[in-house]
Homo-oligomer: A and B are copies of this chain.
Amino acid sequence: MEFEKIADILKALADPTRLKILSLLRIRDCCVCELVPIFNISQPAISKHVSRLKTAELVHETRKGQWVFYSINEKRLEEIGYALSHLPDLSEELRKLEQQGLTVTCE
């Protein structure tokens, strides 16, 4: 996965409210109207948070009548964990640096 893509998914994760939503979805699927009374923020705020998680493919949605239930996408979380321990290799950049004689060699 590219650096920009990894950063985008991490940005979607990097918020306490969204992390809490994911933790709740680990217990069971929830709809927005269940999440609202748990947090001290408005319904549109919750709606935007889950929307951000959906864009990052960290959750899936399923409409059931008038409700929309969100479920966690554990695969995506595993992917991001893997991406962090296997970031794209930039050794070519360091090689170019050496060719340009810009390397700092200390003592």
Contact = CB atoms under 8 A, between A and B. Distances in A.
Interface of A: 3-4, 6-7, 10-11, 13-16, 19-20, 22-24, 26-28, 31, 33-34, 37-38, 64-65, 67, 69, 77, 80-81, 84-85, 87-91, 93-94, 97, 100, 102-104, 106-107
Given A31-B104, A34-B103, A97-B37, A90 B23 contact: yes
A70 to B, nearest CB: 12
A64 to B, nearest CB: 5
B27 A90 contact: yes
State the main secondary structure of chain A at its contact with B: helix
A20 B27 CA distance: 35
B3 A20 contact: yes
A67 B100 CA distance: 19
A67 to B, nearest CB: 6
